[in-house]
Structure 1
Amino acid sequence: MKRKIKSKLLIAGTIAALGLFVGSNNSYISAKTYHKAVTKIAGNGNYAVYHYASKMGPSGKFTSTKYFKHAQIQSKQSIATKKGKFWKIIVDGRTVGWVNQNFFARNKISVAQNVSLVQNNQYSFNTKDAINYVTNSAGTAVDTSKVTVSKSKINSGTPGKTTVDYSYGKAKATVNVTVRSDKNEGIARADKKPMNGPKEVSTWKGSSKSSSRNWNAAHHYTSETRSNTFRANGLTLKTKLFQPRFVSLGYNQSGDKMGQVGVIPEGITVNGSNFTVALFNSSSAQNGHLVSYNLKHINKFKAQNLQTLSWSTFKKYASHIKVSPYIKLGHGQAIGSSSAYIYVIANNNTSSNSSASEEILQIRKSDMKINQIWTFRISNYGSPRYIHNATFAGDNTMYCLFHNGGNGYYEYWKVTRNGDSWMPVEVGATKGNFVNNGSPVQGFTYDQNHNQFYIGFNDYIFKVGEDGTYKSTHHLQVRREIEGLSSSGNKLYVEFAQRGELTAGNTN
């Protein structure tokens, strides 16, 4: 008898530890389920958010999901209730409240609307690059490696159209991939005479040698509270925005590789008040997130502290910070934007030069998802120009930078879109390497008002005319890497690493 009582007590204790309730009819009703963090994908509808949830349902409505539809959403708790399943959502790294599972995009594969490939038998398109996200029946993001595709690679050597089918459980999607018919597209003559370049300068090789005031262990990576002003040879840059370390749960908290947003910035673009940065969770990653900020609505200091902002301020900021799905971005340094779209060349920065085509992603600013993909190439009649750095001037024009290492000069290419075709023309060249130790270019942009380029290496910026005429060198002496340049209107925007800091100054 004693043995039976002890067993019953042990069972009851186990049930209590697991968070189960015993009903009046001796049936068990499950309570909250705790799990590692998962990434959730918002759907199109608006749903109430509640403070509490129990087996009877939610209570304490206090806000709506309409503020968080384009945020980074994660969850570590769910509960089955009489009114459906609810998840406790974490928005941009901050715990918010309970939401009905119907809020999420369930059993869905989101893909680009169109994929168009330049004819090139040296390149095959990976069809999974067209995926924005995949979700299961609970609206949880699924690794794209688990998706079944009817054709995993499409060689671009033969013109024609291929329909690609994607499936995961009940989720289905289809993309038409077209190889364009002009076999000479992308072939152009590199015939511009290189202009005299600047005296090569010495700089470090590798990561930043310093940080912002508080971005270090001594200051526990706390927020910055003072603006910076950097001056160099007529260029004055002032702090425009200090960015949050993460726009998600942080290190070792996210649970899946799709969840962590940060902490490495690799490229920026500014168009009007819209600032977008490419963020990766490691320096070797090819996939990452784009994060867009509406600078008109965000204080340059407050965005660092998303988790501790007042609720009303956080809700406002969350509606003005948009996070893309976890998509292929390449190195993230070839980026630009128009009023409606963000453009990224999803290139391979480990390739010194290659005959492969490169992917241009057109991403909608409205929802941060891939709209179209094109591939392009630049070839000097058989001598390839694989592009690592590029910028976009509107929807139909990009400028590309190519380092002709064999001849010791830089080439500038203007590539114009007509329909789905991208045609290159060399517009200029500059002698020399700019820096003397092989450090890579870390920022490139085109100033349309003055027909000139800005090129960044570590904490140096070089200004050259469109034809390659050298104009000036600006050494900012901050010992922090430049992680992107962008020109918009009469402003030059410069992103620094450690902490991510957007600065701006006048062009001339």
Structure 2
Amino acid sequence: MKKRIKSLALITNLILVIALFIGSNNSVVSAKTYHKAVTKIAGNVNYPIYHHVSKKGPTGKFSSTKYFKFAQIQSKQSISTKKGEYWKIIVDGRPVGWVKQDFFVCNQISVAKNVSLVQNSAFNFDPKDAVNYVTDAQGTAIDLAKVKTSHSSINSASPGKTTVEYTYGSAKASVDVVVRSDKNEGIARAGLRPMNGPKEVSTWKGSSPSSSRNWNAAHNFRSETRANAFRSNGLTLKTILFQPRFVSLDYNKAADKMGQVGVIPEGITVKDSNFTVAVFNSSSAAYGHLVSYNLNQINKFKAQNLPQLKWSTFKHYASHIKVSPYIKLGHGQAIGSSENYIYVIANNNKSKNSNNSEEILQIRKSDMKINQIWSFRIWNGTSPRYIHNATFADDNTMYCLFHNGANNYYEYWKVTRSGDTWTPIQVGATKGNFISNGSPVQGFTYDKKHRQFFIGFNDYIFKVAENGTYQATHHLHVKREIEGLSADKGKLYVEFAQRGELTAGKIN
């Protein structure tokens, strides 16, 4: 009996010690730790950021969320306090500090303002393509698969309006999807005589056989420290920006597919000092992020090391790097921009040709969210031209490239918007395939000043007049894939893969 009493006394004392320990370590007990980071959606109101949080509340205010409202935000920890819920945020891959949950957008669904579809019985619109993000009560981004819609798809065969309702928990949103009235919209004539093209050249097929100096396992994928100058046939491209490998936590550290921003760049667009690149976490993904950089505010080397920058520099850079929500971008190589918007055709690059319509996303530069969506088509009578590569000269003008493989030539189309209507007209054609082994086009842009196109394959760039007249070949001999072209104010911008490197050169 005495032994049992002693044992009970020991257990009681142990419980008291544990209770005292818990009472003096409220921040540990009340913390909810996630093995992988969830994605958080920032709101518009500024909140202070703190070094420490206990059950009593936050202490050590040192910064503000105003620098990070358009950054990629993730979190692994939250704490319930007397002053509300607080989350430890990771910004663009860098741990920062604690912020009140009120900073996040909670219980909301963000969708495009409207959707306008061209008539086409072969095309069904997925309403979830119009979603920017969905959040729960804590401001955590939710997988679209969990969101309910009043219509699973909308066929565009007949004109009319359908209102789609979205719900997740207490979050609600709606968007009007309108099928336009002109049944002949998008039907045009493809009859221009192809101009003589360049002699076909051979190149590698598949992924890049090389990389930048340090983008390899032998150098541990460390940052580049030397700028490049690539020259070919009168074109000189110089390094403008080496991009970070990730603008988030890196591989396999997020609990959701929305969290990782990197590592594959696809299409690019440059307008004035704004450079935007479509970024995916795999080459087969149809959803990804747009990342925009203010080139006037960022050093060409320093952005590679966002987590290691000194605090003042990181804060400045983060305020000049904007990350879109995780949205449907297709392959990301049909892209362009105007002063206020980024445009992307969310296409299927696996489709060799299709009578499906294609979706144009208009994305606001101000907050990187989808503003509106149109569908369009380019048909030569009943023969479709499914577009893989396109560029936008302005808010109302798109140029498209179509490979007419059956007849061994490329077609160039100008598509003009009036209201919600997109009208195509063929402007040129060029004989031949340019590349002999069937490698896909990896960059396409239009130089408005000289009325000419640039077309990229691997490390080749071909210059062609608007009517299809071949002008020049530039072989850059870098053995790295071109991942996008853009022309702006007399300069040609070229993005190379492995590591993502933006270069630019004067257009002659």
Work out the CA distance in 2 between the residues paired with 1:470 and 1:133.
44
Partner of 2:425 in structure 1? Answer: 425
Name the aligned partner's letter for residue 22 of structure 1: G
Aligned residue in 1 for 2:65: 65
Counting only pairs closer than 5 Å after superposition, residues 95-494 of structure 1 correspond to structure 2 as: 95-494=95-494
* Structure 2: distance between partners of 1:441 and 1:224: 27
Q: Distance in 1 between matches of 2:397 and 2:18?
A: 65
Q: Output aligned runs, 1:85-104, within 5 Å.
A: 85-104=85-104
Do the aligned partners of 1:23 and 1:29 also contact (CA within 8 Å) in 2? no
In structure 2, C-alpha distance between the alignment counterparts of 1:452 and 1:3, rounded to whole Å: 89
Counterpart residue type for residue 23 of structure 2: V
How far apart are the structure 1 equivalents of 2:261 and 2:13?
46
Cα deviation 1:336-367 (Å, max 9, x = unaligned): 00000000000000000000000000000000
Considering only aligned residues, what root-mean-square deviation do their CA atoms show, in Å? 1.6
Q: Which residue of 2 aligns with 1:33?
A: 32
Alignment length (residue pairs): 503
Q: Which runs of 5+ in 1 are unaligned?
A: none
Change (3 A) 1:28 1:206: closer
What secondary structure sits across from 1:237 in the alignment? strand
What CA deviation, in whole Å up to 9, does each residue of 1:133-171 have, x standing for no partner?
A: 000000000001100100010000010000000000110
Sort the Cα spacing of 1:12 and 1:225 in 2 relative to 1 into closer, same or farther, 3 A. Answer: farther
Contact 2:113 2:175 in 1 (8 A): yes
Q: Sort the Cα spacing of 1:53 and 1:190 in 2 relative to 1 into closer, same or farther, 3 A.
A: same
- 1:410-431 per-residue CA deviation (whole Å, 9 max, x = no partner) reads 0000000000010000000000
- Kindly state the Cα deviation for residue 33 of structure 1 after the two structures are TM-superposed: 1.6
Contact map agreement 1:460 1:473 (CA 8 A) in 2: yes
| Pair 1:29–1:306, CA change in 2 (3 A) | closer
Q: What SS does the aligned partner of 2:86 have?
A: strand
Deviations 1:220-256 (A, max 9, x none): 0000000000000111000000000000000011221
- The 1:14/1:112 distance shift into structure 2, 3 A limit, reads farther
CA–CA separation in structure 1 for the residues paired with 2:360 and 2:490? 26
* Contact residue 342 and residue 364 of structure 2 kept, 8 A: yes
CA distance in 1: counterparts of 2:350 and 2:27, whole angstroms: 56
1:4 positional shift? 3.3
Residues 1:11 and 1:473: Cα distance change in structure 2 (over 3 Å): farther
Tell me if the contact between 2:125 and 2:156 (Cα under 8 Å) persists in the aligned partners: yes
Normalised to the residue count of structure 2, the TM-score between the two structures is 0.97
Partner of 2:187, secondary structure, is coil
Percent sequence identity is 74
TM-score (norm: length of structure 1): 0.97
1:302-356 per-position Cα deviation (integer Å, ceiling 9, x unaligned): 0001001111110000000000000000000000000000000000000000000
Amino acid at match of 1:123: F
Are 1:55 and 1:81, in contact at CA under 8 Å, matched by a contact in 2?
A: yes
Secondary structure in 2 aligned to 1:317? helix
After superposition, the Cα gap between the structure-2 partners of 1:431 and 1:107, relative to the gap in structure 1 and judged at 3 Å, is: same
The alpha carbon displacement at 1:498 in A equals 0.2
Contact conserved, 1:22 with 1:28, CA < 8 A, in 2? no
